Every structure is written in structure tokens, then in C-alpha cells.
Amino acid sequence: MKLEITFTLRIEKVYEYDISHELQSEIQDLLIASFPDVYPEHRIYFKQLPHLRFLVYNQEDRLVGHVGLDYRVMNLNKKPIRVLGVIDLCVSQSARSQGIGSSLLAELDQFCAGRNIDFILLFADNMTLYLKNGYKPVKNKCKWLKIDDGFQTSIGLGHEAMDELMIKKVGKIDWEEADLDLLGYLY
């Protein structure tokens, strides 16, 4: 006899300026647990605040998933493109392998539908989840604003090819493997 258990998840969209102190603490705990020894302990962002976030809650109303989103224009081969950047997608250790990451990415697809967005863009050390959800790795020489995390100051421009760069086309423009100027910080 096979017992099948289904969980009810709730995904909530929250704008950065609406985050309460209590929610900030919950997000901070999830980010620190998900990115140990990497994430600053006193912030809920790494380099810069995202514009909005999608948060996933389980049936006990506990935060179990997160993704930050940054909307901006970038320059691809001397042409402007509109990009929704994915920042710090993570799922709590206790809720992994239940499809929550894929659910967040599906929510992003729905969010982009009918909006003025050409590509979803992200940087991934492990590409497995993203490949499974229609993202593709691309090779572009990138230029970005370098930020010192500790002091939160601009320290120059970075310029190099990025092996971790992935995109998903959600608009009508085709991607080119050419110079990409992020016109801002690196996610």
C-alpha cells in the first residue's frame, strides 16, 4: 500500500518596501541557513535590495522558500534588453526535493507572461534545477559594477566571461552570445 501525502503551499509576492521586521527576520534566517558562510548576517540582501520577492509558505505557515527579483535594462551587444534577474533562490533544508524550487520558477514564468520582460537571467553554481525548468547556460563576456559587500561601496567594474550565467527567453528578442553589460551590480 502506497501512502501519498500532498502539501499545500502558498506563494506570496512581497515588495521590498513592505517587508516587516518580523518577516525580515524570517527571510534572514532562511538565507543564512541556505548560504552558510556566504550571506551577511545583518542583511536580507547580498549586494543590493531586490525589487520584490516571492516567498513560499508551508501548511504550518512557515517560510520554506524564497527568490528575490531585480528588474532592469541591460545592454546586450549594444542593444537594450529588459531583464528580470533571479537572486538567491533557496528552499529550507527540511522542505527540499518537494518541487518547491520548480514551483517558484513556474511562478516566475506566470509573472513574466504579458509583461515587458525579454529574459529571466540568473547566475547558478548548480544548474540542475534551472535546466529542468527551461533555462539555458550562455557564454557572454559580462561587465558589472563591483561592490564591496562588507563596506557596501562601489569598487570598480568587473569584466569577464561568466560560466554560471543562465537565461530563459520570455519575450520576443533572441539571445546573442556577445558582450553583456549588466548596467549595475552582479546578482
Residue 47 domain flag = yes
CA distances from residue 99 to 6, 12, 162 in whole angstroms, order as listed: 12, 16, 28
Enumerate the β-bridge partners of residue 120: 84, 168
pLDDT tops 60 at residue 146: yes
What's the mean pLDDT in 4-31? 89
Eight-state DSSP code of residue 173: P
Residue 2 domain flag = no
pLDDT tops 60 at residue 2: no
What's the mean pLDDT in 14-23? 96
pLDDT given for residue 5 in this prediction: 47
Query: What is the CATH classification number for the domain harbouring 103?
Result: 3.40.630.30
pLDDT tops 50 at residue 72: yes
Q: Hey, is 117 helix, strand or coil?
A: coil
What's the mean pLDDT in 27-52? 87
pLDDT tops 80 at residue 85: yes
Strands (DSSP E) found in 58-179: 63-76, 79-91, 119-123, 136-137, 141-148, 153-161, 165-169
Residue 3 domain flag = no
For 109-144, write each residue's pLDDT tens digit: 999 999 999 999 999 999 999 999 999 999 999 999
C-alpha cell at 111: 509573472
* Whole-number average pLDDT of the chain: 92
Number of domains in the chain: 1
What's the mean pLDDT in 15-25? 95
pLDDT band at 36 (very low <50, low <70, confident <90, very high): confident
Residue 38 domain flag = yes
pLDDT given for residue 8 in this prediction: 81
Residue 124 domain flag = yes
pLDDT tops 60 at residue 164: yes
Question: Looking at per-residue confidence, does 183 or 8 come out higher?
Answer: 183
pLDDT tops 60 at residue 45: yes
Eight-state DSSP code of residue 107: H
Q: Hey, is 144 helix, strand or coil?
A: strand
pLDDT tops 70 at residue 32: yes
Residue with cell 561592490: 147
pLDDT tops 60 at residue 3: no
Range of lowest pLDDT (3-7, 12-16, 25-29, 64-68): 3-7
Q: How remote is the C-alpha of 167 from its chain's centroid?
A: 11
pLDDT given for residue 6 in this prediction: 56
Residue 169 domain flag = yes
Residue 4 domain flag = no
Residue 1 domain flag = no
Which phi and psi (to 5°) does residue 10 adopt? -120, 125
Domain boundaries, position 121: 10-185
